Structure 1
């Protein structure tokens, strides 16, 4: 199940929200004020942020602005008693995906959480086979099948890497996002060469390791992505 981060200074509301989320099966991280909330928002691994606006130390707008600068693909739902149109517009313009005005029902909140997670760009679609110019990557069988009849085994991590990239085809994925989503570790604890080495090994297995890769592309300053459409023969 996805992991949610709840930043809310009202202890009764925070407890009610976190209890409801855990009862629904979600993993939950929580912070009671802006300083701890900012730290978790920028360093923890989670799939959705539920964010209060009025917080001690850092307000919700400051946390939202920092999050969207450093982790732009992370979805956010604002939880606030400030229902004025100007606040809603400001939150949405800063990148929030939804805005829930207090008081709200648990049922409404859970429905909004599910809706945002469904359309989140970081929530991968299930991919079973990934075509590439020389054949097909079979995620379930952990192998590459080439049009010439040959096969190449893939490691679990190589399969997870190509599956994640395929689920987000058309979007450049940063090293930091790959470390969080594929390796499930925080970038500050790991050298980024880990990702680069796996990309190089995967390119070699895909036979895409020439001077200008045609399938597993490097987007300068942004990360890696798969070619939009692979023209493939029958494997």
Structure 2
């Protein structure tokens, strides 16, 4: 299991929800829960968690509506859809909408735990491009945590700096907000952490990378950061 992550369960059936929560907590996970689409939407967009178990049909916004907004505000968020619907179109809609898996009710708790473990293993490694990449003659070795410059001098990177680099490079040029970085790289609740922390870490990382690589980090005022490779900026 990956460092006891928190799992958010959005399910309107009390018996099903309690059964899932009890099973997850017995297996060692931490949990958050919501009983309808209104509270579910709020927690999905604001809470700090690693995986979302999302029912489709419930009072308030549907699971598909929550998934749509979630994928716009928190790209990369792991989601497993839960539904009594077994039709192919519903499964396709969920997966095309960005869900990582789709479990049809009724399901055994043993099966659900297996699906949860599998998705967490996959998505834990999601923000990771090639372990070694080269930009403008500078090599970023994200396994060994070092920058190798064209003149062969080297600079060490911390594990967190490597994780930040991985996430930014894998963002493929999109704007990554400070709250997203706190959630996905630091696994922290942005409501409880001063986002200036990200700016300080970014400035320190830029200073280590040198002017050529630092120029690839674009600050989008009031929005966050983008990582743009030199060949993509023209």
The question of a shared fold, defined as TM-score above 0.5 by the shorter chain, is answered with: yes
State whether residues 139 and 163 of structure 1, in contact with CA within 8 Å, keep that contact through their aligned partners in structure 2.
no
Of the structure 1 ranges 20-29 and 164-173, higher mean CA displacement relative to structure 2 is found in: 164-173
Aligned length: 218
The residue correspondences of 1:1-235 to structure 2 (distance < 5 A) are 1-120=4-123, 133=138, 159-166=159-166, 169-172=169-172, 173-187=176-190, 192-206=195-209, 208=210, 210=211, 212-213=212-213, 217-218=217-218, 223-225=225-227
**Deviation per CA, 1:98-120, whole angstroms, max 9, x where unpaired?**
11110000111111111111221
Q: Distance in 2 between matches of 1:222 and 1:177?
A: 9
Distance between the aligned counterparts of 2:81 and 2:39, measured in 1? Answer: 17
State the 1:21 CA deviation. Answer: 0.8
TM-score relative to the length of structure 2: 0.74
Structure 2: runs of 5+ lacking an equivalent: 230-234
- Name whichever of 14-23 and 192-201 sits farther off: 192-201
Supply the distance in 2 between the matched residues of 1:86 and 1:219 (Cα, whole angstroms): 41
Distance 1:135-1:21 versus aligned 2 partners, 3 A rule: closer
- Looking at structure 2, the residues matched to 122 and 42 of structure 1 have their Cα atoms a distance apart, in angstroms, of 22
Give the CA deviation at 1:68.
0.9
In structure 2, the CA distance between the partners of 1:200 and 1:167, relative to structure 1 (3 Å rule), is closer
1 CA distance for matches of 2:143 and 2:225? 24
Q: Quickly say closer, same or farther: Cα 1:175–1:161, change in 2 above 3 A.
A: farther
Write the deviation string for residues 28-82 of structure 1: whole angstroms up to 9, x where unpaired. Answer: 1110111110001001111111000111111111111111111121111111111
Normalised to the residue count of structure 1, the TM-score between the two structures is 0.74
> Is the partner of 1:213 in helix, strand or coil?
helix
Query: Which deviates the most, 4-13 or 85-94?
Result: 85-94
Is contact 1:166–1:226 with CA below 8 Å preserved after alignment?
A: no
Secondary structure of 1:120's match? Answer: helix
Match of 2:232 in 1: none
Contact residue 9 and residue 34 of structure 2 kept, 8 A: yes
CA gap of 1:137–1:17, structure 2 versus 1, over 3 A, is closer
Gaps of 5+ in 1: 228-235
Report the CA distance between 1:84 and its aligned residue. 1.4
- Deviation at 1:87? 1.4
